[in-house]
Amino acid sequence: MSLYTGSGNGSFNSTSSIRTRSSSVTTADAVPERVPECFFYRNLWWDKGEFSEKAKWEEVTLPYVLVTDVTIEEYEQRTENFNIHGCWEWSDGKVIIYELPSAPHEVCIFEISEEIMNACRHIRGTPAQIYGIGATRTRDRNRGKEADASFRPAKPAVTAPNGSDGNDFPWPNLVVEVAYSETLDHVEEALRYWLSPGRAHDCIIVKIDPVPQGQVPVRMRAWHYCISAGRGSRTIVPVVNEFEFGTRDGNGAQLNITQGNDVPYLKE
């Protein structure tokens, strides 16, 4: 396992990097001279689960490679031990940060999940009951990922190794992904992961336009994708509905939207 101390912007595509064995990093009070301080404190998120302001996360370009040469089992163990949900994923031995912790991200996930479960309350206690399975870990041969939220009815086990756990655990029917610091390019990759054959049936993507710390977001967009919408395919998943709501548009102009309303339209 190697800690990653890449170039200044921390980009996933960076070709300039220095690697140091994890044994060379000891405590937060002793920063090795050969490791820039910000990289040392970024590595602490993997090493100790510590998300430090000294890491200068605001200067990071996402996705960011946090650590390399890691097994998926070790990745899953650390995300569980440090309660890291919706921020890291594993891909071909790399642990990649694609979302940074933020209040808008967490509040949005909670509110959407609550609305979905509230809409399903009338079928509680019936064979059609919908269960929220949260950020359940999933994996395939090359990737380990968690949804921000996921839902499904009771389902029988699937044929191993086609389950969401790499064994026989069934995949969710509906997945919700919320992006705040996350890029839309990465969201598209996540969409292909969730809606690959034999996996989820629907995916809701929400993108909140980020604002400076302490300010309230003013624009949010959402897309609903469905594999059986009557057009498209598993490789080109159609958008069923697209929504935009907030107080400003993408150019910063005022929107005449009454609080609590949205602007839905069917994408042709």
Q: What is the pLDDT of residue 146?
A: 93
In a 10 Å sphere around its CB, with 0-12 CB exposed, 13-18 middle and 19+ buried, how is residue 212 labelled? exposed
Strands 17-21 and 202-208, bridge-based pairing? unpaired
Q: What is the pLDDT of residue 238?
A: 72
Q: For the chain, what is the domain count?
A: 2
In a 10 Å sphere around its CB, with 0-12 CB exposed, 13-18 middle and 19+ buried, how is residue 11 labelled? middle
Q: Which of 66, 101, 136 is the last residue of a domain?
A: 101
Q: What is the pLDDT of residue 32?
A: 54
Q: What is the pLDDT of residue 254?
A: 78
Question: What is the C-alpha separation between 177 and 167, in angstroms, rounded?
Answer: 23
Is residue 94 located within the same domain as residue 128?
Answer: no
Q: What is the pLDDT of residue 27?
A: 45
Rg, the chain, Cα only: 20
Question: What is the C-alpha separation between 62 and 96, in angstroms, rounded?
Answer: 9
Q: What is the pLDDT of residue 28?
A: 47
Is residue 54 located within the same domain as residue 9?
Answer: yes
Question: What is the C-alpha separation between 255 and 250, in angstroms, rounded?
Answer: 10
Q: What is the pLDDT of residue 25?
A: 39
Q: Which of 79, 101, 123 is the last residue of a domain?
A: 101
Q: What is the pLDDT of residue 34?
A: 65
Is residue 75 located within the same domain as residue 150?
Answer: no
Report cis status (omega within 30 of 0) of the bond before 63: yes
The DSSP call for residue 54 is G
Is residue 213 located within the same domain as residue 92?
Answer: no
Give pTM, 2 decimals. 0.77
Q: What is the pLDDT of residue 244?
A: 83
Give every residue of the chain whose pLDDT is below 50, as ranges: 1-28, 231-234, 260-268
Q: What is the pLDDT of residue 159?
A: 94
Q: What is the pLDDT of residue 18?
A: 26
Residue 209 structure tokens: 């336009």
- The parent domain of residue 131 ranges over 102-268
- C-alpha closest to that of 162 among 149, 153, 171: 171
**186 near 62, Cβ under 8 Å?**
yes
Q: What is the pLDDT of residue 176?
A: 96
